[in-house]
Structure 1
Amino acid sequence: MFTLASLVRNASLELRVLVPGPPGALEEPVSWVHNTELPDPSPYVGERELVLTNGLWADRVTADEFVANVKRARAAGVVFGLREETPRTPEELITACREARLPLLEISAAVPFTAVSRTVSAMYADERQRDLLGMVHRGDALATAISHGAGVSGVLRVLTEDHDLPLVVVDRRSRVLAAVGAELGEEQVRAVVAGLTRRPPALEVDLGEERAALFPVGAVGDVEAALICLRPLAELSLAEREALEQAARFLSLEVAKQQAVQAIEMRFAGELLEMVLSGRTVEAAGRLRAFGVDPAHPLAVCAVAFAGRDATVLPGTAEAVGGFLADEAIPAAVVGGSQDIVAVLAWRRPEEELPFLAERLVETVNRRFPGRRAVCGLGGVAPYSAELRRPLLRARETCRVLRRSRSGPAVRAFLELGTHRLLLGLVDPEVVTGFADDLLAPIREHDARRGTDLELTLRTFLEHDGHWARTAAALHVHVNTLRNRLARITELTGRDVGRTEDRVDLFLAFAAQDADWSLGRPPSRRPGGGPGQEG
């Protein structure tokens, strides 16, 4: 766009500034020129247009009224054209513009308004030509950056050579791919992803203290990422918006390339598990070397998943695990699947430090996916790659057991799991919960009908390893009261807590329900309450 100052500097137009307006007004961009003699041109004058007039409206409205109408249209200013009848700009027009803080220019009678229009058109043509040449040069630079492997960061560097803008590129998996002059917090990244996944994608996103413009980046027929400019669309010039849209198109090529590479890497990594499980140790060792993992040194295996019903692995989980290990400077091969993520990592530290690393890993995944509960199973450390099969199986089995737990530790090693948990993990959930419901239902019905605490009593007895005195003390009841309650439980369930096999049945029923996330009901009351009632 041109400015009033640029027109004044053109000597051929013979323009003179009579009222400069507020500070900087002469340097503000002007959208176009509008020739009018209407008393009220506001319905027709566009915002930031320059009004050209000879003052033929003077016999119908005052100068104050005309200027007020022009001001209401948000015009850039007024150019008064001198003529034989008005060889000088009327003083009342000068006063009205000064009071309204509206720029006023005077043009010589020898220069027609068409000269101004032609000059403005030429300025626009030159500006557009410069923009087109800049777009071509920028396109060449963007293509060069991508072809030379500069990646997303390289695209942003090219863009900021012409425009000083705060930029961030975020993909649908909540990953910040690159940033220049800007930084987003986790909440802001989630807001961007929410706007990106809308149909159609949002044009702007609210980042809390500011609004940001969003330019979708497509790949393989869908929107996979967004170029974010931390400025509202209204504050971006036309040239800046065109440059951002051009960069977004080139980013689409880079994102598509990254997706293809990731797909190959995931398949490459997935074959590693098949090699380990099938005993192809030589091939597995070679594959580990390809990931920068030395197969001749100790290797640890961990499996990460989400707990809950049908908790399939979310897109981006493998990247989150791989990114965490990369930040920890631990070489690893990360394999993504639909149920869990397996990581085989070089481990030259004491084995007892592995759970602490796993705890930090789980915290990282939870931050990336709020509302989900990540768990991690540890299979131990193998001395070298040929011994990986057992740690791999143990890690995945431990993870599978943890996935069915609605509470408790998020990280467990295989040897820390009770035998009963492993056995329950092998049985279909419907069979396990059906067994628990059938066995415990009479107790719960009795408690509901009579207001007793038989279930709490049984839980407390089992948790105190069948010790009568300690159980009675925990429940704040007499031992005889405890005996009466347990006798009533035997009548209701047919299980005698004095017999080992019956006690195991009752213990497994509680364990199954405590670990069964599919029931959807709150956990049963735990021991430690006030005095119970007679059974």
Structure 2
Amino acid sequence: MLTLRALLADPALELRLLVPGPEGALDTEIVWVHNTELGDPSRYVRERELVLTNGLWLDDAEPAGFVAGARRAGAAGIVFGLRAERTSTPDELVEACRAADLPLLEISVDVPFTAITRAAAASYAAERQETLVGLVRRGNALAAAISHGAGASGVLAVLRRDHDLPLAVVDRMGRVLGAAGAQLDPEQAGVAARALARRPRPLEVDLGSLGRATIYPVGAVGDVDAALLCLRPVTELDRAERDALEQAARFLSLEVARQQTVQAIEQRFASELLDMVLSGAHRAAEVPGRLRAFGVDPAAPLAVCAVAFRAGDPTLPGMVEAITDFFLAESLPALVAGGSQDVVAVLPWRQPPSDLSALAGRLVTGLSSRFPDREPVAGIGGTAPDAAELRRPLAQAREAARVLRARGGGPAVTTFDALGGYRLLLGLQEPEQLQRFAETVLGPMREHDRRRGGELEATLRAFLDHDGHWAATAEALYVHVNTLRNRLARIAELTGRDVSRTADRVDLFLALEAGSVGEELR
């Protein structure tokens, strides 16, 4: 770095310090040198430039005015060049610099200003070369960390070899992917994630007790997926530190992209495993191997938990990751798979059922913190003795979650057995029996809808959902009450069940529910 102290240390320049200026002035970086003979140099001198002058302006201007102009411009100091006609620095100039607290140096009559310019150029060239060498060396170290699987923390460790900065990497879901010299709690990580999602994205984020942190976006696949956080305000970072942080952010994008690819593959495998379970016996042999890949013992008793949100979309981006993180924090191996209506977790379980409900309660509480504007619910199925018996508890857990979501209130966690009533009875039947019952009762009506593009089944569902209230059903369907009566009369003709009779209405309701439960069990 080019400083006054470095120039004074060069014997070839024959410089002499006359006024040292304020404390630290000799070690402040000089951005360049500026030769001027104007009485007021302030219009042309840049901040932290070193002013070189032979004093030709002395015939027309006062030293105090020249010094005041250099001070106004933010000059790093003044170098007065001696000449054969003036072999000493004017006392008035020395006094003016001392009064303005501006460094003043004197250069020998035998040394031209070009020598200072060459020294400055050589210093900058050496500094630039050192910076480039450092970037290449650090780039090689970062590439090695990525290729060896050191992860985000490995990248941060490389960065901290050169710069002692507190660092962390947080993704859009508020997960801490790596940290070095910094410790973020979940709330602080969430603040960083929300700042990352803002448009326009801020340069800094306030992390409360940790102070302000500078944000370096980390892009992976077409968007900013994470942030490299330096727990220092941007004004406290020098150029070398900012360059190093930007370089590390680019390498972190490779690591984030790798993690996203791995997660996508794992999610695909998890979803395929659920399909295998629901497919029945002809794919049952593949299930144990897939479970082992996720660290779940297929020979152990297995529990299933299905999670969804009550209002709006039943699932959201980041939900699978949040549930996976929960089970990792609980030190429980689990297969977590997301679908359009819920997210399912399969885990080994040898404890009492009440403990599983308590675990699901903690999961729901954690999701509420991660998604503060949503209301999560969790349904728990029965326990399977091993992987071969997973189909029924899987369907039961999903049905329990569906019921909780449809209720719009009440407990956030329930087991399938606790639902009681017709759902428990339906859950005890084989899926083929349920499908046959549904088809026997509803088959003619469904065939009518298929052939004529009708809405009889939708009308029946709406009528039952509105507890048989004609006006409310008609309003929900946007039809006249007479139209509703005609449709229900047609349903009675096709199914042989009249919705005005309690027994027939029960048959129709159970047939509709049996179809849904049977599909899940299949």
Task: State the TM-score, normalizing by the size of structure 1.
Answer: 0.77
Letter in 2 for 1:3: T
**397, 405, 412: which one pairs with 1:410?**
412
1:231 aligns to what? 232
For the structure 1 residues 436 and 364, does the alpha-carbon distance in structure 2 shift closer, same or farther, using more than 3 Å as the test? farther
Give CA-to-partner distance per residue, 1:100-141, whole Å, 9 cap, x none: 222222211211111111001001001111111111111111
Counterparts of residues 91-490 of structure 1 (less than 5 Å): 91-198=91-198, 201-208=201-208, 210-279=211-280, 280-309=283-312, 311-419=313-421, 434-435=466-467
**For 2:286 and 2:315, how far apart are their aligned partners in 1?**
27
SS at match of 2:43: coil
Query: 1:285 and 1:56, CA in 2 relative to 1: closer, same or farther beyond 3 A?
Result: same
What secondary structure is seen at the aligned counterpart in 2 of 1:305? strand
**Deviation at 1:400?**
1.1
Q: Quick check: 2:416–2:424 contact (8 Å CA) kept in 1?
A: no
% same residue: 61
The alpha-carbon distance between structure 1 residues 283 and 121, as it changes in their structure 2 partners (threshold 3 A), is same
- Is the contact made by 1:308 and 1:405 (CA closer than 8 Å) also made in structure 2? no
Does the residue aligned with 1:380 lie in a helix, a strand or coil? Answer: coil
Partner of 2:449: none
CA distance in 2, matches of 1:422, 1:68: 91
The offset of 1:501, in angstroms, is 7.0
Deviation at 1:422?
A: 8.6
- Describe the shift of the 1:419–1:74 C-alpha distance in structure 2 as closer, same or farther (beyond 3 A): farther
Residue identity opposite 2:20 in structure 1: P
Q: Paired residues, what number? A: 444
**2:193 aligns to what SS in structure 1?**
helix
Deviation for aligned residue 1:368: 1.4
> Residue 268 of structure 1: CA displacement?
0.8
Q: Deviations over 1:210-264 (max 9, x none)?
A: 4432222222222222222222333322222222222111112111111111111
* 1:273 Cα deviation from its structure 2 partner: 0.8
C-alpha change, 1:174 and 1:133, in structure 2 (3 Å) is: same
Aligned-partner Cα distance in 2 for 1:98–1:372? 67
Shift of 1:323: 1.1
Aligned twin of 2:36: 36
Quote the Cα distance in structure 2 between the aligned partners of 1:437 and 1:201.
52
Note if contact 2:17-2:104 (Cα within 8 Å) is conserved in structure 1.
yes
Equivalent residue number for residue 485 of structure 1? none
Alignment deviations for residues 477-519 of structure 1 (CA, whole Å, 9 cap, x no partner): xxxxxxxxxxxxxxxxxxxxxxx979x99xx9xxxxxxxxxxx
Aligned-partner SS, 1:391:
helix
Residues 205 and 214, structure 1, Cα contact 8 Å, conserved in 2: yes
Query: 1:396, CA displacement in angstroms?
Result: 0.7
Q: Deviations over 1:154-178 (max 9, x none)?
A: 1111111111222211222222111
- The code of the aligned residue for 2:215 comes to L
How many angstroms apart in 1 are the aligned matches of 2:151 and 2:80? 54
**What is the Cα deviation at residue 373 of structure 1?**
1.3
TM-aligned CA distance change 1:95 to 1:422, over 3 Å: farther
More helix by share: 2
Point out the more displaced range, 234-243 or 349-358: 234-243
**2:372 counterpart SS class:** coil
Q: Distance in 2 between matches of 1:188 and 1:328?
A: 21
Provide the residue aligned with 2:52 in structure 1.
52
Name the SS for the 1:376 alignment partner.
Answer: strand
d(CA) in 1 for partners of 2:48 and 2:222? Answer: 40
Output the amino acid matched with 2:260. Answer: Q
Per the TM alignment, residue 435 of structure 1 is displaced from its structure 2 partner at its CA by 4.6
Task: From the superposition, tell whether residues 304 and 115 of structure 1 become closer, same or farther in structure 2 (CA, over 3 Å).
Answer: same
- Measured on the aligned residues, the alpha-carbon RMSD in Å equals 2.8
1:382-430 CA-to-partner distances (Å, cap 9, x unmatched) read 222222111111111111122233332211111222537899xx99785
Deviations 1:304-360 (A, max 9, x none): 111103x24222111111111111111111112232111101112222111111111
Alpha carbons 1:401, 1:421 under 8 Å: kept: no
- The CA distance in 2 between the partners of 1:43 and 1:172, in whole Å, is 48
Q: Indicate how the Cα distance of structure 1 residues 433 and 66 shifts in structure 2: closer, same or farther if over 3 A, else same.
A: farther
Contact 1:401 1:422 in 2 (8 A): no
**Kept in 1: contact 2:463–2:469 (CA 8 A):** no
Q: Which residue identity lines up with residue 291 of structure 1 in the other structure? A: F
C-alpha separation in 1, matches of 2:364 and 2:248: 36
C-alpha distance 68-405 of structure 1, shift in aligned 2 (>3 A)? farther
User: Secondary structure of the residue that 1:145 maps to in structure 2?
Assistant: helix
| SS in structure 2 at match of 1:382 | coil
CA separation in 2, counterparts of 1:88 and 1:278? 98
Of stretches 30-39 and 91-100 in structure 1, the one that deviates more from structure 2 is: 91-100
- The amino acid across from 1:296 in the alignment is A
CA distance in 1 between counterparts of 2:153 and 2:469 reads 57
Cα contact 1:275–1:281 (8 A) shared by 2? yes
| 3-state secondary structure, aligned to 1:220 | coil
For normalisation by structure 2, the TM-score amounts to 0.79
Gaps of 5+ in 2: 426-437, 439-456, 474-500, 510-522
Structure 1: gaps (5+ residues): 442-499, 509-535
- Three-state SS of the structure 2 residue aligned to 1:17 is strand
> Partner letter of residue 235 of structure 1?
E
| Contact in 1 for aligned 2:173/2:190 (Cα 8 Å) | no
1:372 deviates by 1.4
Q: CA separation of 1:245/1:282 partners in 2, compared to 1, >3 Å: closer, same or farther? A: same
Paired residues of 1:214 and 1:229 also in contact (CA < 8 A): yes
Question: How far, CA to CA, are the matches of 2:420 and 2:76 in structure 1?
Answer: 79
Pick closer, same or farther for the CA change 1:8–1:346 going to 2, 3 Å. Answer: same
- Deviation of 1:153 (Å): 1.1
Residues 405 and 30 (structure 1), Cα distance of their counterparts in 2 relative to 1, 3 Å cut = farther
How far residue 437 of structure 1 moved from its aligned partner, in angstroms, is 7.1
| Deviation larger for 368-377 or 38-47 | 38-47
Deviations 1:38-84 (A, max 9, x none): 22222322222111122233344433332222222222222222223
**Whole-Å separation in 1 of the counterparts to 2:166 and 2:133:** 24
* Residue-by-residue CA offset, 1:449-485 (whole Å, 9 max, x unaligned): xxxxxxxxxxxxxxxxxxxxxxxxxxxxxxxxxxxxx
SS in 1 for 2:258: helix
Supply the distance in 2 between the matched residues of 1:82 and 1:438 (Cα, whole angstroms): 106
